Structure 1
Amino acid sequence: MSDHHTSELKRSLSGLHLWGIAVGLVISGEYFGWSYGWSTAGTLGFLLTTILIAAMYTTFIFSFTELTTAIPHAGGPFAYSYRAFGSFGGFVAGFATLVEFVFAPPAIALAIGAYLNVQFPALDPKLAAVGAYVVFMGLNIAGVTIAATFELFITVLAIIELLVFMGVVAPGFSWDHFTAFGWSGSADFSTGSLSGVFAAIPFAIWFFLAIEGAAMAAEETKNPSKTVPIAYIAGILTLVVLAFGTMVMAGGAGDWRQLSDINDPLPQAMKMIVGEQSGWLHMLVWIGLFGLIASFHGIIMGYSRQIFALARAGFLPRGLARVNSRTKTPIAAILAGGVVGIAAIFSDNLIVIAGQPLTANIVTMSVFGAIVMYIMSMAALFTLRRSEPTLDRPFRAPFYPVFPGIALVTALIALGTMIYFNLLVFAVFCGLFILGFAFYRLTPVLREQAEGDELLSMAPGMDTPPAAE
């Protein structure tokens, strides 16, 4: 095999880089998408939803970090489930993670295109979205250190902008505004309010979706046993503070019902306080783009590592594991995810699910993948504690088994409610799973020919490591 096709990644990322990736993957969720939860649950109902989901993510990350440090693999959740449950378990987790990370970028790219269209009306939003793919795929191809440094820079700017938003809105904040009609649009709690709390789960998940993608950079991180726990724990704490701060300050700026069905709640909330001509408002509108870019760029890093790891292990065509000999980046995987994303962009008005265009359901589809992956990861944690008690665990989940138990149960609740409220999208998710499973069953030769992988070689039912090519 030539150097151009080697499947070895380079360890060059610091803990600060990893923190930037973890927060950057998620931070667009603070800028848009979450306020739709107010439409179904009201401000108070959605506050309860967000508390539930924040508890799920916090306990999940503290538990997930044990897996990431014990098995620092580019496949992330795929590797953990493979190690715990064998080949089929790896397939399920890998499929779910792939759906999460391949379906999220087109939605964010279209948001970038829509934003640029507002500033430049002559610019086609879809072409702008494709341009974003081209630019950030190119940046990822250039090298992981370059890509991660850019991600860190843009993430810090996005965080500063959220803090500026909170500071500017604070003088006009009113708790009475936040609590007015705070239960599903009414003043009093009712059975409908409880239903709204559960229906709003996908929008609360959007606050934190994809933070686990930093695990896919663990194979490229220096000293992951020490840097990963610090980066992950600092990342989830950063996001919890930003999520609640952003939501509460926006809801208390004025009539929150005016913000519940729009894609730019923060500029509109600020407008209620400072007016349309304020320089603060214009700064927020422009710099707010950084949040979208940080998540878009970071998720490209995430999906490319997942595709690379699945191909290296024989779950996808071997050519997708190609790594450039000079930059040590998985070029084929980066381009493959981009092709799918660009196809989704141009299918926006051609494919309709439940009366909505394709992109209206992309976020929900991505969340389905994430929730299934969370369930598989926590199940893998419990299984590996029993099957491999001597596995080196540089970081152990605190309050075991309570923390991973909370994460698992809340993820199961989230999955059940999402299926109930999004049955057609879930049917499409199952259809994709069946197609993926058919490929898995028809291509055992790919896994037989896959190169040896020490981190996966102890999977159940495997007496010896996979044969090398």
Structure 2
Amino acid sequence: MAQTGTTLIGIGTLLLVLWALRDGLLSAPQAALEAPATIDGSISAALLGGAFLAIYSFIGFGNMAQTAEEVRDVKQVLPRAMILSLGIVFVFYLAVSAALVGAGGLEELTEAQAPLVRAAGREGWPEMPIAIASLAAIVNSALTQTIASARLLYDIGRDGRGAPQFLGRVNSRTNTPLLATLAVGLVVLTLALFVPLKQLATGTSYAILLVFVGVNASLIVSKRRDQPEEVPNIWLAAPWLGLITCVGALIGQLVLDLWPG
């Protein structure tokens, strides 16, 4: 219930911000046409850095797979849900970015602690209610990560693959991996209290890319060995493309971090 509630609040807040920036959204095509035709090295680095941080949002798509055991008709429902969610997220990212570009004043927004809240405030909307509502997105991310990580820890403990066996137990009353959830919740709380958000997002993006590299490499090896009949026969180029892209993103961000000049 909490997960659903925070998701609805987050989506509603984004829709409210888009409504506040509707003039900027309509002006975005003209602003894009007037943008410089060439991109220098600093802009390229900024684009790569922004794209790298955006990978943080993809953690949700991987987390969906961790709850597969709780889905009915998982082979049909889960792939459709992942594709649908990817499309929704893409539309929101594109719309918000376009609205901010069309509204102008990007230098001011880059210095703001909450750019979307500040952008809505410039249009005459009260910032405090929007800021409070936007916290639902942060809470939603924490809940999502806690649930998915707890399920993963539970699976590892249950199957004896490295985690203590007591983490693989299900509570008799709630029928949920309570101990694994508490353990993950403690880690999430510690990181949220003591690690700055940007550093946390950057570290998470590194971790996600490393996981994606491993997943794509595993898919390549698995497809070369066998192709199960009940699994969709994805073109072999897809995991190769994913592997190359993730490795390239990792190398590019490492270069930016080690030689920021």
> Which amino acid counterpart does residue 408 of structure 1 have in structure 2?
L
Distance apart, 1:207 and its partner CA? 4.0
Q: For 2:103, what is the secondary structure of its paired residue?
A: coil
Residue 385 of structure 1 is aligned with which of 223, 244, 260?
223
* Conserved 8 A contact 2:56-2:204: no
Show CA shifts across 1:355-404 (max 9, x none).
xxx654222111111001111111222222222223521x443xx12333
2:56·2:208 contact (CA, 8 Å) conserved in 1?
no
- Aligned partner of 2:11 in structure 1 is 159
Counterpart of 1:199, as a letter, is: G
Q: Which amino acid aligns with 2:52?
A: P
Matched, 1:305 2:157: no
User: Residue 54 of structure 1 aligns with which residue?
Assistant: none
Kindly, what percent of the aligned residue pairs are identical?
22
For residue 316 of structure 1, give the secondary structure of its aligned residue in structure 2: coil
Structure 1 unaligned blocks of 5 or more: 1-148, 349-357, 425-469
CA deviation profile, 1:388-444 (whole Å, cap 9, x unmatched) = 223521x443xx1233332222111111112223359xxxxxxxxxxxxxxxxxxxx
Aligned residue in 2 for 1:402: 237
Name the residue aligned to 1:249: 99
Shift of 1:283: 4.4
The reply to whether residue 331 of structure 1 matches residue 169 of structure 2 is no
Aligned equivalents of 2:228, 2:191: Cα separation in 1: 45
Pick aligned residue for 2:187 from 340, 343, 348: 340
Which position in structure 1 is the counterpart of 2:211?
Answer: 373
How far the C-alpha of 1:206 sits from its partner, in A, is 3.1
Q: Which is bigger in relative contact order (C-alpha 8 A, separation at least 6)? A: 1
Partners of 1:211 and 1:261 lie apart in 2 by 30
The answer to which structure has the higher helix fraction is 2
CA drift of 1:203 comes to 2.0
Please give the secondary structure, in 2, of the residue aligned with 1:365. helix
With over 3 angstroms needed to count, the CA separation of the structure-2 counterparts of 1:262 and 1:391, relative to structure 1, is: farther
Q: How does 1:5-20 map to 2 (within 5 A)?
A: none
Checking the alignment, whether the CA contact within 8 Å between 1:158 and 1:290 is kept in structure 2 is yes
User: What's the counterpart of residue 135 of structure 2?
Assistant: 289
The answer to whether structure 1 residue 417 and structure 2 residue 255 are counterparts is no
Deviations 1:176-207 (A, max 9, x none): 89559967xxx852233333333333223234
Offset of residue 244 of structure 1? 1.0
2:50 and 2:132 mapped to 1: Cα distance?
28
CA 1:181–1:309: 2 relative to 1, 3 Å: farther
**Mapped partners of 2:138, 2:221: distance in 1:** 37
Match of 2:28 in 1: 175
Q: How does 1:189-204 map to 2 (within 5 A)?
A: 189-204=39-54
Q: CA deviation at 1:247?
A: 1.5
Q: 1:243 to 1:380 in 2, by over 3 A?
A: same
Shift of 1:235: 0.6
After superposition, the Cα gap between the structure-2 partners of 1:219 and 1:179, relative to the gap in structure 1 and judged at 3 Å, is same
Whether the 8 Å contact between 1:213 and 1:299 is mirrored in structure 2 is yes
Question: Take 1:210 and 1:229, find their aligned partners in 2: how far apart are those partners?
Answer: 14
- Name the structure 2 match of 1:272: 122
TM-score, normalising length from structure 2? 0.86
Instruction: Give the 5 Å matches for 1:43-62.
Output: none
The residue type paired with residue 64 of structure 2 is A
CA distance in 2, matches of 1:176, 1:232: 29
Q: Distance between the aligned counterparts of 1:307 and 1:364, measured in 2?
A: 23
The one of 227, 242, 254 equivalent to 2:77 is 227
Structure 1 range deviating more: 214-223 or 412-421: 412-421
